[in-house]
Amino acid sequence: MSLANGRHFLAIPGPSVMPDRVLNAMHRGAPNIYEGAIVELVDGLCDDLRKVARTKDAGVAIYTCNGHGAWEAAIANLFSKGDRILTLDCGRFAEGWAQTAQGMGVDAQVVMTGDRGPVPPEQLEALLRADTAHEIKAVMVVQVDTASSACNDVAALRAAIDAAGHPALFLVDCIASLGSEVFEFDEWGVDVMVAGSQKGLMTPPGLAFCFVGPKAWEHRGDLVSVYWDWRPRIRPEMPYQRFGGTAPTHHLFGLREALDMLLEEGIEAAWARHRAIGDAVRAAVAGWSEGMNDGPMEFNVIDPARRSNAVTTILTRGFEPKKLRALCETEMNVTLGIGLGRFAQTSFRIGHMGWVNPPMAMGVLGAVETALDAMEVPHGPGLSAAAQSLGRAMRKAA
């Protein structure tokens, strides 16, 4: 029996649910791209993106591409063939970024620090201390690894670089976390941050951003090409240069609306909402295995303090995650995230980033609990634990 008729719900970790306001803002004719409203709109977008990233004056380069393009842009602008860089991976995505660099001739070393928790800052410090000749040009990490759902302690990683007295640039991928997790570009001393439009920023896939701090601005490799050069995009002499060609007009309209929504709520309030929703998801996952020896699931990330508020990776026991996802999709019209890479066969993921409130989250959790019942998987009370968690958050805020 299919119960799927009704609104489809996308609970994958990007693209995230697009608000009606964002979709409606895009539903209009093409504007003049050379002067007038669109030019002012872009200036305003850069100012507001800086607010979301918490930087006073980092440059913002906007590219018409997905997150992989921003990865390549950062590498192209900063490095030369043969440069040594260090990538610390705790899942899958930092490694992907390093592979992009390797493909461009950069000597990117990948250190896998384990896929059930964040990158240990002590390990980064030790690696940098060992580089006494200061050959390593940069350190690359992700804030939230979307495969493992580990949330790195970016401030602690910065402190590790400083403790080692190392001059390497610090590059952070916030593609899965900008707008969802606490992030402080200036305060944390980040040199370059890359992000995309389609996750916490609630806009269709197709825009990506490089935030460039003063130290990175001065740094320049010879890999950079005309199109990926971030200088004319950040400091254009003519508006046309901002995008290396025609502006992605409708994405810009959508992003304008999404940033309005985010700033109307307040970025700190958005972070708190993601924490409350993340806590509810975690309460459900813990609840489903509560009081059982070998319950049906566990968190991939072992340290509760380092579980992401944007996505949760869940390891399953005694049932196939593929079957659970299929039931949710075909019988209930909820799409859950697949396990990625090393996690493919043994996990599923719930995305809870961007435009998410309690009924949306509870709907997803309710569908998962219903699927467990339909599969006759024994489980504890997840949904009521999630409701209690949200109730606690609301009492605390009141």
Ligand X SMILES: *Cc1c(COP(=O)(O)O)cnc(C)c1O
Closer CB to ligand X, 142 or 385, in the complex: 142
In the chain, the amino acid numbered 76 is A
**Selected binder of ligand X within 83, 125, 173, 369 (CB under 6 A):** 173
Least distance in Å: CB of 374 to ligand X?
A: 30
Is there binding between residue 313 and ligand X (CB under 6 A)?
Answer: no
* Start-end of H helices in the chain: 20-26, 37-53, 67-78, 93-103, 121-130, 154-163, 214-218, 230-234, 249-265, 267-288, 321-332, 358-374, 383-397
Is there binding between residue 178 and ligand X (CB under 6 A)?
Answer: no
Is there binding between residue 179 and ligand X (CB under 6 A)?
Answer: no
> How many Å apart are CA 190 and CA 321, to the nearest integer?
37
Is there binding between residue 10 and ligand X (CB under 6 A)?
Answer: no
> How many Å apart are CA 277 and CA 265, to the nearest integer?
15
> How many Å apart are CA 29 and CA 27, to the nearest integer?
7
Is there binding between residue 196 and ligand X (CB under 6 A)?
Answer: yes
Q: What is the dihedral of CA 224, 228, 233, 238, to 10 degrees?
A: 90
Site map for ligand X, 205-244, x if CB under 6 A? x---------------------------------------
Is there binding between residue 95 and ligand X (CB under 6 A)?
Answer: no
Least distance in Å: CB of 5 to ligand X?
A: 30
Omega before residue 15 within 30° of 0, cis: yes
**Which residues ranging from 357 to 396 are in contact with ligand X (CB under 6 A)?**
none
Least distance in Å: CB of 150 to ligand X?
A: 11
Closer CB to ligand X, 340 or 383, in the complex: 340
- Residue 271 CB coordination number (10 Å): 18
SS3 (DSSP) at 71: helix
Is there binding between residue 72 and ligand X (CB under 6 A)?
Answer: no
Least distance in Å: CB of 176 to ligand X?
A: 3
Least distance in Å: CB of 184 to ligand X?
A: 18
Say if CB 346 and CB 316 are below 8 A apart.
yes
Site map for ligand X, 38-67, x if CB under 6 A? ----------------------------xx
Burial class (CB in 10 A: 0-12, 13-18, 19+), 40: exposed
**Selected binder of ligand X within 161, 168, 176, 178 (CB under 6 A):** 176
Site map for ligand X, 146-165, x if CB under 6 A? x-------------------
CB proximity list for 45: less than 8 A, separation 6 or greater: 60, 62, 252, 255, 256, 259
Is there binding between residue 175 and ligand X (CB under 6 A)?
Answer: yes
Which chain residues interact with ligand X by CB under 6 A?
A: 14, 66-68, 93, 142, 146, 173, 175-176, 196, 205
